[in-house]
Amino acid sequence: MMNRRANATDKLIGRWRIIEMDNWDREEIDALEPSFITFSKGMHGEFAFIAAHGWMDCRPIEWNGHPGVEFTWEGNDDGDPVHGRGWVALVDDDEIEGHIYIHLGENSGFRAKPYDRFSEKEY
């Protein structure tokens, strides 16, 4: 069963452009750089939005019938060390959705599109 889940999560591998977050508008999430979340073949990852930058340790899951990952992360927010957890699920080949939690801090849902198919004009 783990192999099936791991193979299903291969569709997540790559760089995704965060296009929307529940708690912040587009200008805020792209404050320092274009926001993103990236997954590697070894199921590690990285993300950046606003002034937060984190590195993830991911595990395959199934979320509402869709392949996904749950993760823990550590990083920094405006230079201060932070950590937390989250999850991401593949909605279709062109979109993921998830939620990120900052330990003892804020949390937000988000949506993302593959960077290679992303167009600023659409958003």
pLDDT digits (tens, 9 = 90+) for 31-77: 999 999 999 988 899 999 999 999 999 999 998 889 999 999 999 99
Residue 79: the pLDDT is 92
Average pLDDT, the chain: 89
Task: Count the domains in the chain.
Answer: 1
Residue 115: the pLDDT is 87
Rounded to whole angstroms, the Cα distance separating 49 from 7 reads 28
Is the residue at 123 inside a domain?
no
Structural domain range at position 81: 2-117
Is the residue at 10 inside a domain?
yes
117 has pLDDT over 70: no
Is the residue at 21 inside a domain?
yes
Is the residue at 69 inside a domain?
yes
C-beta of residue 62 within 8 angstroms of C-beta of residue 80: no
Is the residue at 122 inside a domain?
no
Is the residue at 103 inside a domain?
yes
What's the burial of 38, exposed, middle or buried (CB within 10 Å: 0-12/13-18/19+)? middle
Residue 1: the pLDDT is 38
CATH number for the domain spanning 43: value is 2.40.160
